[in-house]
Structure 1
Amino acid sequence: MSQKRVSMAMVAAHAGVSGQTVSRVANGSPHVDPDTRARVERAMGELGYRPNRAARALRTGRSHTLGVVAQTLATVGNSRMLQAIADAASARGYALTVVTLGGGGDIADAFARLHEQGVDGAIVLNEATALAREAPPAGLQLVVVDSAPDDRFTVIGTDHAEGARIATAHLLAAGHRTVHHLAGPAGSFAADERERGWRVALGRRRAPEALRGDWTARAGYDAGRSLAVRDEVTAVFAANDQMALGLLRALAEAGRRVPEDVAVIGFDDIADAADYRPPLTTLRQDFDALGELAVRALVSRIEAAVPGGADGTVDPGTMPPAVLAPATLVRRSSA
């Protein structure tokens, strides 16, 4: 015998709200009091209510599905951002469709695939944002994570340059004559901004040549081996925590103590950073907040889209501005 499908009316009665309020929550409307939203979502969970997405799409003209475009999900930053976006989207009743570009992916093809799947809008992560600037999608609401400002889409991200400046200034204030930098890959907006912040902090000091890696611990180890044999190297700012991990290994193998001989600061504050040896001083990115900002901005663009605007036009008065979240210095034992 089939179980009776739970209706919106049943959810409304269980939560003590109107059917219209349940509909707003189910449709991901931002115009619901947070406490009321939580009560309705709790009632949905207790009753086992599942929205009929196909019926809702026919009724509203929206699929309540968001796209995510990333070069790769193998990096810690991208995987954490995806999790944060998924959590924020789910809280608003949105599903996700994820497209990865890989080594030679085409951003236009990715946007075309998302169009075919009927997404309401898309979030583009990190390394893929440069491609998005070259081929912005027509008629698809877009938010990019880590990019220069652009009138064609909303930008959210971390203030990488200021975080890097804080890290470098911290090392200089500790008495180091200069700070070496293990940079991220060329063409990465985040890597470029972190390198810029490092140079700003050095000011009139002659900046050492930056060594470039690909965000991996192996790249940090390879670069670290060349830094470890140079006695003048006493402080290193690594562009992310994984490269800092490889750097720590290279320094240990060369007999250089951290922080007594070489101070090290990373960037990201990944989950394992406190368990490095020694525990890593780093800049914390709040990935949960970034995911929430990205989804909130995209839903705002979707809500603000001019009805019938095939080119994706958004009312300028309601367009969310670019938002930068601070990176916070977390002091541990490596610097």
Structure 2
Amino acid sequence: MSIPESRPPGIRDVAQLAGVSPQTVSRVLNGHPSVKPTTRETVKSAIEQLGYHRNYAARSLSTGRTQIIGLVMFNTDSYARSIVVNSIESESAALDHSVITSSISSMDDATIDAAVQGLVDRGADGIILAVPMINSSPVVARIGNTTPIVTLDGSRAESSELLVIDQALVAELATTHLLDLGHETVWHLSGPHDWIEAIDRSEGWRRTLERAGRSVPPELQGDWTPQSGYKNGLLAARIPELTALFVSSDEMAFGVIRALHESGKRIPEDISIVSVDNIALAEFSSPSLTTVAQPFKMTGKLAVHRLLHTLQDSKEPAPPFSLAPELLVRASTGKPPALRDTL
């Protein structure tokens, strides 16, 4: 391939020569561990052939920016989280920006503060906080006065922008669907209550039942993992009055389904299940999961665009963040046993 002499080779040129996406090139440049060795070598060969290199110093001197986006993410095996992170990396690479990531295992203020400050020290033009913060950190708020910050799924500091899906609405969609099918009430398996998503879903579930004049059962407690879903599924199978269960994530729902099957419970004939996220496996569970889908890919993409909009100091207002969850009805929900018996 030939490149005009008027410009040096860029990430897209490397991607085209290597036959990969710009996101993959960015991951190789940043030492991301998820790239296959053969792909890594192909990209490195293309970089060498084109003579591509990232001249951060020159770029920073000419523009005042490094074109580096800092990403703080919670260290988790969650499929949903990985979709958001992959979307951020992909969109950043497509816009010729690199992503440097700080993965944290604790959500205390000191850990988050250190992660954000570390990314700023490494030259990040702006920060995306993809962590479920409950409280706003004063240090993060101070940094946000000089470095743009976009927060996903967390609390909002005055100096940062918050992009978030309405998790109370997620719970309302799930709970209302089960009530509309004729269930007297809906039980809930929540996520851990140090996650703001879990808190908002629990509150939305409770408010929906109270508005409908229904009793609010004791809340079951999970930790997002299929293992915790399995444990709570065994418990749910022993509660005679439980005919409908709102599970706070697809991954926990997989564990619940297995436990109910092993306990001799039929889904949805005995117990109906609605979950959250709509990860790729939800459609292929047995039975297929009714779930509230969240636009994870678009959330990551919009986070990058919002951050770059702020960095460009555009006089035009940013487009409104109007992403909404969507209920997808599949085979795991149906009428309660009492209504089925009358058919």
- Alpha-carbon displacement from aligned partner over 1:269-313 (angstroms, at most 9, x marks no partner): 001111111111101111111011111111112122xxxxxxxxx
Q: What residue in structure 2 maps to residue 226 of structure 1? A: 235
Note closer, same or farther for the CA distance 1:276–1:79 as it changes in structure 2 (3 Å cut).
Answer: same
The Cα of 1:119 is off from its aligned counterpart by 0.3
The Cα of 1:323 is off from its aligned counterpart by 2.9
2:148 corresponds to 1:141: yes
Task: From the superposition, tell whether residues 225 and 250 of structure 1 become closer, same or farther in structure 2 (CA, over 3 Å).
Answer: same
> Which residue number in structure 2 is paired with residue 21 of structure 1?
none
Q: Which sits farther off after the overlay, 92-101 or 65-74? A: 65-74
Counterparts of 2:5 and 2:192 in 1: how far apart (Å)?
51
SS at match of 1:158: coil
Query: What's the CA shift string for 1:97-141, capped at 9, x where partnerless?
Result: 1101113771111122112210001111132x3365453152221
Q: Does residue 113 of structure 1 match 2:118? A: yes
Structure-2 residue corresponding to 1:259 = 268
- Percent identity, aligned pairs only? 31
| Letter in structure 1 aligned against 2:250 | D
Higher relative contact order (CA 8 A, sep 6+): 1
Among candidates 118, 123, 136, match of residue 128 of structure 2: 123
The letter for the 2-side match of 1:270 is I
Q: Deviations over 1:144-171 (max 9, x none)?
A: 0013444321111212111210110000
Q: Does structure 1 retain, via aligned residues, the 8 Å contact 2:72–2:131? A: no
Residue identity in the other structure for 2:257 = L
The Cα shift of 1:50 comes to 4.7
- Measured at CA, do residues 59 and 244 of structure 1 come closer, stay the same or move farther in structure 2, by a change above 3 Å? same
Q: Which residue of 2 aligns with 1:241?
A: 250
Instruction: Please give the alpha-carbon distance, in whole angstroms, between the structure 2 residues aligned to 1:123 and 1:322.
Output: 18
Question: Does 2:188 align with 1:181?
Answer: yes
Distance 1:233 1:125 in 2: 35
CA–CA distance in structure 2, aligned partners of residues 10 and 193 of structure 1 = 49
Give the AA of the match of 1:331: V
User: TM-score, normalized by length of structure 1?
Assistant: 0.79
Assess if the C-alpha contact under 8 Å between 1:282 and 1:331 holds in 2.
Answer: yes
The counterpart of 1:156, out of the listed 163, 170, 178, is: 163
- The alpha-carbon distance between structure 1 residues 324 and 239, as it changes in their structure 2 partners (threshold 3 A), is farther
CA pair 10-112 structure 1, distance change in 2 beyond 3 A: closer
1:72 aligns with 2:79: no
Q: Residue 289 of structure 1 aligns to which amino acid in structure 2?
A: M
Q: Taking structure 1 as reference, are residues 4 and 84 closer, same or farther at Cα in structure 2, changes over 3 Å only?
A: closer
**Counterparts of 2:320 and 2:100, CA distance in 1:** 24
Match for residue 90 of structure 1? 93
Contact map agreement 2:70 2:120 (CA 8 A) in 1: no
The farther-off stretch of 47-56 and 220-229 is: 47-56
The correspondence of residues 38-49 of structure 1 with structure 2, limited to 5 A, is none
Q: Is the 8 A contact 2:113 2:137 kept in 1?
A: no
Tell me the residue number matched to 2:290.
281
Q: Do the aligned residues in 1 keep the contact of 2:136 with 2:156 (CA within 8 Å)?
A: no
> What secondary structure does 1:135 align onto?
helix
Counterparts of 1:8 and 1:332 in 2: how far apart (Å)?
A: 55
For residues 261 and 283 of structure 1, what CA distance do their matches in structure 2 show? 21
Residues 161-182 of structure 1, C-alpha deviation per residue, up to 9 Å, x if partnerless? 1121011000000000000000
Which deviates further from its counterpart, 252-261 or 141-150? 141-150
- Tell me, in whole angstroms, the C-alpha distance in 2 between the residues paired with 1:4 and 1:201: 61
Call closer, same or farther: CA 1:205–1:227 in 2, change over 3 Å. same
Q: Give SS of 2:241's match.
A: coil
1:60-104: CA deviation from partner (whole Å, max 9, x where unpaired): 111101011122142222211100111111111110011011137
In the alignment, which of 79, 84, 87 is matched to residue 81 of structure 1?
A: 84
Return the letter of the residue paired with 1:284.
A
- 2:321 alignment partner in structure 1: 323
Gapped regions of structure 2 (runs ≥ 5): 10-46, 334-343
1:58 lines up with 2:61 in the alignment: yes
Partner of 1:167: 174
Gaps of 5+ in 1: 12-44, 305-314
Distance 1:149 1:10 in 2: 40
User: For this pair of structures, how many residues does the alignment match?
Assistant: 290
Name whichever of 53-62 and 145-154 sits farther off: 145-154
